[in-house]
Amino acid sequence: MESLLITGCCALALSTSAMAAGPLAITGTDKNIQWAPCPPFFEQTCRLGVLHGNPAEPNADVFFRLDGGEAFPTHTHSSAERMVLVQGKLRVEYEGHDAVTLEPGTYAYGPAEMPHKGQCLSEERCILFIAFEAPVDAFAVD
């Protein structure tokens, strides 16, 4: 199993103090979000944007962004995820559960260590808000 601590986001954590001093509400199209690449086992166009906190520490909030039609591979996280789709239409499938399609405003809970995969079904980008309980990480599942 390939593992990766999402260190790109850690570098972005330095910019979160600027966000903290800025607006309390952020949209997925905010020009101040600094997008970083997802782990290498994701599509090259996948991006993460830190909204609040330090991804190397507990309780970080991020936006996860996929281009329209793009899929993401089966993976796990050490942390549970609390998610709300902000933009697009996203199908997510957790191991042992039926696939669900998220539309803007849909809340989803992802248990820690549970393998999952998905795809942005819309032509427009998908932007998913994720609140992590533990530090942000991702582990590829073969």
What is the rounded CA–CA span in Å between residue 48 and residue 128? 10
pTM of the entire structure?
0.84
Q: Which residues of the chain have pLDDT under 70?
A: 1-23
In degrees to the nearest 10, what's the CA dihedral of 104, 109, 111, 112?
Answer: 60
What are the tens digits of pLDDT across the range 73-95? 999 999 999 999 999 999 999 99
Query: Residue 45 to residues 80, 85, 134: CA-CA distances in angstroms?
Result: 24, 18, 25
Q: Which domains does the chain have, with CATH numbers?
A: 3-23+32-140 (2.60.120.10)
Q: What is the pLDDT, as a whole number, of residue 22?
A: 55
